[in-house]
Amino acid sequence: MTVAQEPQALTFECETGNYHTFCPISCVAWLYQKIEDSFFLVIGTKTCGYFLQNAMGVMIFAEPRYAMAELEEGDISAQLNDYEELKRLCLQIKRDRNPSVIVWIGTCTTEIIKMDLEGLAPKLEGELGIPIVVARANGLDYAFTQGEDTVLAAMAARCPSQTPVAEGEKSDRNAIQKLLNFGKKKEEVVQEESEYRDHPPLVLFGSLPDPVVTQLTLELKKQGIKVSGWLPAKRYTELPVIEEGYYVAGVNPFLSRTATTLMRRRKCKLIGAPFPIGPDGTRAWIEKICSVFNIEPQGLAEREQQIWESLEDYLQIIRGKTVFFMGDNLLEISQARFLIRCGMIVPEIGIPYMDKRYQGAELALLEKTCQEMGTPLPKIIEKPDNYNQLQRIHEMQPDLVITGMAHANPLEARGINTKWSVEFTFAQIHGFTNARDILELVTRPLRRNNSLKDLGWDKLVKEDAKV
Amino acid sequence: MKLAYWMYAGPAHIGTLRIASSFNNVHAIMHAPLGDDYFNVMRSMLERERNYTPVTASIVDRNVLARGSQEKVVDNIVRKDREETPDLIVLTPTCTSSILQEDLQNFVERARMDAKGDVMLADVNHYRVNELQAADRTLQQIVQFYLEKARKKGELPEGKTEKPSVNIIGLTTLGFHNNHDCTELKRLMGDLGIEVNQVIPDGASVHNLKTLPRAWFNLVPYREVGLMAAQYLETEFGMPYVGITPMGIVETARCIRKIQQVLNAQGAQVDYEDFIDTQTRFVSQAAWFSRSIDCQNLTGKKAVVFGDNTHAAAITKILAREMGIHVVLAGTYCKYDADWFREQVSEYCDQVLISDDNAQIGDAIARLEPSAIFGTQMERHVGKRLDIPCGVIAAPIHIQNFPVGYKPFVGYEGANQIVDLVYNSFTLGMEDHLLEIFGGHDTKEVITKGISAESDLNWTKEAQAELNKVPGFVRGKVKRNTEKFARDRGIAQISLEVMYAAKEAVGA
């Protein structure tokens, strides 16, 4: 690629929004697994159902706790009563699965026909005796991972606002409950508590696999910071207490609505930090939390250094290579920042939606990273146009394109390496421990090339690059 | 409202897109919200397609909701026309856009004025038809559009081809083994001395559609897609069509005899009886298989068949008529064409089930306890849960049902493939039972795995719990690496921290 003179600040552009991404209802696929006592009901059409069925592949066969409320012609033309219909289906779900919460996912169709889900839910909730949370995760307004954002924003309103006095079930991860449980293992608890510094309660938000939750919690514990709760928790019944004045921090870049809700509705203080993706991001994330609590971080620099050293074999593969983000899951800024730190060059970051306030610290770190690494600042393209992007890709021939599945095989057939962006959404990529996993994914196509080089068949279409 | 976990046939626009993207140089533009373009993902993934799927979306967002699409759709059509110069752009409504009730036909008219290529609106109602019906309709619509256009311009070719010839109608992208079936059908036609005039829509050019009437007849191998087009050609051009699926030895012969009749009616004077006899008795292995001892062992075994009309009906007949297998239930999810299915299979099975509710089919399978199932991917998973082997014979399908190797379902080679599929399903089932009776394989259990199986290290409860969360197939490796890490550093107790430190150090 041609390197022009270094721009002074990040540039933001906005294209047509003709790009490929997953529908935000896909969030049910990972959220139903995360929240073990939930049931997700997607109120939409065959199109939504077909998407989930195909996008989530084999997962749907393991008796999923999600289903479609498939709208029929009578629902669209209001010949059927929405309330009665939903009541019938939810009763069936209650009977068959007995969940602790039913999450209604509103779709494009419920938006267009203006089905008042928020109005129907409280009424039905009363009749049914099961909480009903409404999230409008539709393709009219949102892209892919933003679906989780709408669900968590709705969940934030359901978090208890006071520490419960009596405690029935005990979870080993919920620190507040641990505090109250003086009965058993007293010494151990007291000893554990003393490891924490005195700071206001901190609640983290963002759905992560349980092992990653454990890892990040331990990482903060090393700094004497206690995580008093996590939104979402393993079970709906274990949603964390959120009182006015609590501190909150996001772990993923696509949670701006949740952040806003926690600040405005729950009167929490948001710690705006880069996201714990890559060792640089993780360190910056912890440092920012420490600084807010006036804690001097311990041993972070060494720890980051250690991680970088352990990544050296992978870094050698990618250093100096260019990577192009087509954009579809909003993790792009953090990933690009990490890969630039790894020595890669990023000409373009496509991203569905850019919240410059919520991602402020991350953007600042991106800029700083570019300056420190002496690489040109990437162009950030909001609402990209895939067609135009493909023209740019064919022109600049990057070493790697991070893209959705729709373009991966055609690009590969034209000799351009790709990595499916969706994998980053499902892989464990947060914290120090998982930095290697990100690079495992990023380097896979390049390592594949090492094993296949010299075979002479890297271009597998006849005429060249007609998009 | 209907509570649904799984659906057999997709929404209507998928059918339209399957037709449009099967043609060469035809582009489809969906009037759809963000994320509805996962058809591209399916095509790119399942078919391992090398080219960009010629489908884009004209995005419906909040602005469109508030003010209507206005110029957006027209602009997108014209833009695509410039960028890729397709022969035809098919504007495809989706279930979302059809509630908006925008005048898409009007957009098409306006876009036609600026576009060099042709533009049309797919005429499908999303709340009344499914993927298969929509595909059938769209193919007919495109055929009709180009034949009427040619007629208006006086470009319709006169007369028939010199030698007997055929159009093969209904082979599409994302169809179950359609590409292999296509090769097999062409080969069969070659063997019969019939020229293939055109195969549509797969790989066809819309410019050639005007020569469709030059063929002597049309062959529609699948019940679901192509019939409407064939019926249109019959009414407009008097072209006869053969709608017998050549799947299985008996049906293949029946199809060939029908072709013979159709050709002879037009003065061809062909006799295919010798061909059928040679193929059946000596070339294909399927007929011989049905006489062999292997197949004798299958006599009276119980099977359940479920799928689309074409495949479920054909497989039912093969099992019952050609292998002596007892089909306890045959079913289809093509509810709109149920009468045809009933008529086809009634004499070959105990019971017919017409339903698109997979729970109902699952329950029926559990109740009937067949020795094998022949169904879709969904039935395969039912089979897994109930420990009954399943051969996949129809869509919906996964990537493993798009084999790279040659696996047709039609014609004489198709009959061979079906024999393998059926036989393998049953023997696997038999082996399973024998193993159960004799208490598993007669092998000694592997007691030690590697060097550090005997552990002198303590795992804390939390670490042990965490280890148990690691997927089984890598758990042993994680455990060994962690213990090696701990031993190297003289750590006696493995806690969560040690576990993660080990992961960071060695990528355990």
Residues A93-142 have pLDDT tens digits of 999 889 999 999 999 999 999 999 999 999 999 999 999 999 999 999 99
Token pair for residue B262? 């159709």
Sort out which chain B residues have CB atoms less than 8 A from A461's CB and list them. Answer: 50-51
Determine phi and psi for B87, rounding to 5 degrees.
-70, -35
Q: Which pLDDT score, from 0 to 100, does residue B454 have?
A: 53
pLDDT band at B507 (very low <50, low <70, confident <90, very high): low
Sort out which chain B residues have CB atoms less than 8 A from A140's CB and list them. Answer: 33-34, 60-62, 65
| A410-419, B375-384, B433-442: range with lowest mean pLDDT | B433-442
CA distance A229 to chain B (A): 18
Q: Any catalytic annotation for residue B432?
A: no
Q: Select the more confidently predicted residue: B57 or B475.
A: B57
Q: Which positions ≥6 away from A193 have C-beta within 8 Å? A: A179
Q: Evaluate whether ipTM surpasses 0.85.
A: yes
Q: Which amino acid is at B297?
A: N
A333 in Cβ contact with A368 (< 8 Å): no
A41 in Cβ contact with A21 (< 8 Å): no
> What does the alpha-carbon distance between residue B463 and residue B457 come to, in Å, rounded to a whole number?
12
Q: Which pLDDT score, from 0 to 100, does residue A184 have?
A: 47
- Taking one residue from A and the other from B, the number of pairs with CB-CB distance under 8 angstroms is 183
Query: Is A409 at the interface with chain B, CB within 8 A?
Result: yes
Statement: residue A47 has pLDDT above 80: yes
Selected residues 435-454 of chain A with any CB under 8 Å from a CB in chain B:
436
Q: Test B33 with A211 for CB contact under 8 angstroms.
A: no
Q: Test A211 with B466 for CB contact under 8 angstroms.
A: yes
Active-site hit among B114, B271, B277, B294: B294
Q: Test B40 with A406 for CB contact under 8 angstroms.
A: yes
Token pair for residue A156? 């934030």
Burial A146-170 (b: 16+ CB within 10 A, else e): bbbbbbbbbbbeebeeeeeeeeeee
Q: pLDDT digits over B344-355, tens only?
A: 999 999 999 999
Sort out which chain A residues have CB atoms less than 8 A from B10's CB and list them. Answer: 46, 50
> What does the alpha-carbon distance between residue A269 and residue A246 come to, in Å, rounded to a whole number?
6
CA distance B180 to chain A (A): 21
> What does the alpha-carbon distance between residue A365 and residue A274 come to, in Å, rounded to a whole number?
7
Q: Which pLDDT score, from 0 to 100, does residue A11 have?
A: 93
Per-residue pLDDT, averaged over A36-65, amounts to: 82
- Cα angle, residue A419 at apex, residues A212 and A382 outer, rounded to 5°: 85
- In chain B, the residue whose alpha carbon lies closest to the alpha carbon of A109 is B96
Query: Cα dist. B418→B40, B309, B422 in Å?
Result: 30, 17, 6
At A262 the three-state DSSP class reads helix
Q: Test A405 with B41 for CB contact under 8 angstroms.
A: yes
Selected residues 196-215 of chain A with any CB under 8 Å from a CB in chain B:
210-211, 214-215
> What does the alpha-carbon distance between residue B160 and residue B322 come to, in Å, rounded to a whole number?
38
CA atoms within 13 A on the CB side of A446: 21
Q: pLDDT digits over B70-113, tens only?
A: 789 999 999 999 999 999 999 999 988 888 888 999 999 999 99
How buried is B478 (Cβ within 10 angstroms: 0-12 exposed, 13-18 middle, 19+ buried)? middle
Torsion of Cα atoms, B463 then B468 then B471 then B475, to 10°: 70
Q: Test A45 with B11 for CB contact under 8 angstroms.
A: yes
Q: Select the more confidently predicted residue: A180 or A336.
A: A336
Beta strands A66-70 and B2-4, pairing class = antiparallel
Statement: residue B431 has pLDDT above 50: yes
Q: Which pLDDT score, from 0 to 100, does residue A456 have?
A: 77
> What does the alpha-carbon distance between residue A300 and residue A287 come to, in Å, rounded to a whole number?
8
Query: Dmax over Cα atoms in chain B, in whole Å?
Result: 93
Sort out which chain B residues have CB atoms less than 8 A from A21's CB and list them. Answer: 34-35
Rg of chain A over CA atoms, in angstroms?
23
Q: Test A405 with B45 for CB contact under 8 angstroms.
A: yes
Q: Which positions ≥6 away from A434 have C-beta within 8 Å? A: A212, A215, A427, A428
CA distance B85 to chain A (A): 11
Residue A260 carries which DSSP code?
A: H
Q: Test B398 with A92 for CB contact under 8 angstroms.
A: no
Angle between helices B472-488 and B496-506 (to 10 degrees): 90
Q: Test B496 with A218 for CB contact under 8 angstroms.
A: yes
Average pLDDT, chain B: 90
At B92 the three-state DSSP class reads strand
> What does the alpha-carbon distance between residue A147 and residue A138 come to, in Å, rounded to a whole number?
8
Angle between helices B496-506 and B461-469 (to 10 degrees): 50
Q: Which amino acid is at A70?
A: E
Q: pLDDT digits over A136-176, tens only?
A: 999 999 999 999 999 999 999 999 988 766 544 444 445 55
Which residue in A50, A92, A215 is closest to B14 by CB distance? Answer: A50
Q: pLDDT digits over A211-233, tens only?
A: 999 999 999 999 999 999 999 99
Rg of chain B over CA atoms, in angstroms?
28
**Percent of the residues in chain B that have a pLDDT greater than 90, as a whole number:** 68
At B455 the three-state DSSP class reads coil
Q: Which amino acid is at A147?
A: G
Determine phi and psi for A402, rounding to 5 degrees.
-95, 115
Statement: residue B466 has pLDDT above 90: no
Contacts 24+ apart (CB under 8 A), B494-502: B494/B457, B494/B458, B494/B459, B494/B460, B494/B463, B495/B460, B495/B462, B495/B463, B496/A214, B496/A218, B496/B460, B496/B462, B496/B463, B496/B466, B497/A218, B498/B463, B499/B463, B499/B466, B499/B467, B500/A215, B500/A218, B500/A433
Which residue in A113, A214, A404 is closest to B99 by CB distance? Answer: A113
CA distance B59 to chain A (A): 7
pLDDT band at B448 (very low <50, low <70, confident <90, very high): very low
Per-residue pLDDT, averaged over B48-61, amounts to: 92
**Bridge partners for B392 per DSSP:** B375
Q: Which pLDDT score, from 0 to 100, does residue B39 have?
A: 93
Angle between helices A332-341 and A360-373 (to 10 degrees): 20
Selected residues 314-353 of chain A with any CB under 8 Å from a CB in chain B:
none
Question: What pTM was computed for the model?
Answer: 0.88
Helices (H) and strands (E) in chain A, counts: 20, 14
> What does the alpha-carbon distance between residue A186 and residue B188 come to, in Å, rounded to a whole number?
81
Helices (H) and strands (E) in chain B, counts: 21, 16
Q: Select the more confidently predicted residue: B337 or B468.
A: B337
Q: Which pLDDT score, from 0 to 100, does residue A212 have?
A: 95
